[in-house]
Amino acid sequence: MLVEQKVCVVTGAASGIGRATALAFAQAGARAVVLADITLAPMQALAKEIESTTKAKALAVETDVGGEEPIKELVKQAKQHFGRVDVFFSNAGILGKEGGLELEDPLWDAMWRIHSMAHVWAARAVVPGMVEQGGGAFVITASAAGLLNIVESAPYAVTKHAAVAFAEWLRIAYGRKGVQVACLCPQAVRTGMVTGDGASAGSDGILPAEQVAADVIATIGSGQFLVLPHPKVADYFRAKANDYDRWLGGMQKRYLRYVDEK
């Protein structure tokens, strides 16, 4: 699918990957881009930039993707303004506090909501409409941590695995009904979420958000499932499947280096 003339919704659009992808959708010829995030002012500035530098219309909708009602409202507003939703980029995310067993339930709960349930709620709100209108694209931002793991944060790793699993399920259930489902799994990207060298996620380099945005658009075009801006993630994923115990041994060494010895 191409994004030309499409109505695209982007969550987490106030900064980083979401911001870069919203702009890239507009530059690639989208008819309209609907921006969603918890912080309105940066989205309003982005909306102005989009409308003054591209032909796309832009709408900023203050949205907390940690609940179903705000997501329903976002989709309602997108449809009220532009009639339909063709592309939904479900991308908002949080890093939260690093850690493992000591982390408390409110952090786990926030991560479940934002990294996992937000995609379910968004799919519920837009996917049946996409089938009805004869097509659409639903792209979930998970992480390399969702295919592999990340030693610094148990809840991040677990909830991003859930994001990958839901994206797979959605592709299985709706891929033959005209909905193109894709899943973005980068390692470190230079955004508000990554400071310094990116710790363990930065070991293969930190990519600019614009490059990730271009990869998202290319994958929507090609129809593939995985968006892997860091190609080595595919090698690590293969290594995990080939010899799980050996792969876990390697991850234990990473835990020692990035957590125990930090």
Ligand X SMILES: NC(=O)c1ccc[n+]([C@@H]2O[C@H](COP(=O)([O-])OP(=O)(O)OC[C@H]3O[C@@H](n4cnc5c(N)ncnc54)[C@H](O)[C@@H]3O)[C@@H](O)[C@H]2O)c1
Binding site for ligand X (CB under 6 A): 11-12, 14-18, 37-39, 63-66, 91-94, 114, 141, 143, 186, 188-189, 191-194, 201
- Distance CA(139)–CA(225), nearest Å, equals 9
Distances in whole angstroms, Cα of residue 199 to Cα of each of 44, 116, 189, 232, 247: 32, 24, 12, 17, 19
Nearer to ligand X, 31 or 33 (CB): 33
Q: Which residue in the block uniquely carries the two structure tokens 């309602």? A: 76
Nearer to ligand X, 31 or 93 (CB): 93
Q: Is 178 helix (H, G, I), strand (E, B) or coil?
A: coil
Q: Is 156 a catalytic residue?
A: yes
- Distance CA(189)–CA(75), nearest Å, equals 28
Residue 81 Cβ vs ligand X, minimum distance, rounded to whole Å: 19
78 closest CA partner among 122, 117, 140, 144: 122
Nearer to ligand X, 137 or 209 (CB): 209
Residues 25, 56: contact at Cβ < 8 Å?
Answer: yes
> 156, 174, 244, 255: which is the annotated catalytic residue?
156
Nearer to ligand X, 54 or 116 (CB): 116
Residue 149 Cβ vs ligand X, minimum distance, rounded to whole Å: 13
Residue 210 Cβ vs ligand X, minimum distance, rounded to whole Å: 12
Which token pair is 7?
A: 């109505």
Residue 211 Cβ vs ligand X, minimum distance, rounded to whole Å: 12
Catalytic residues: 156
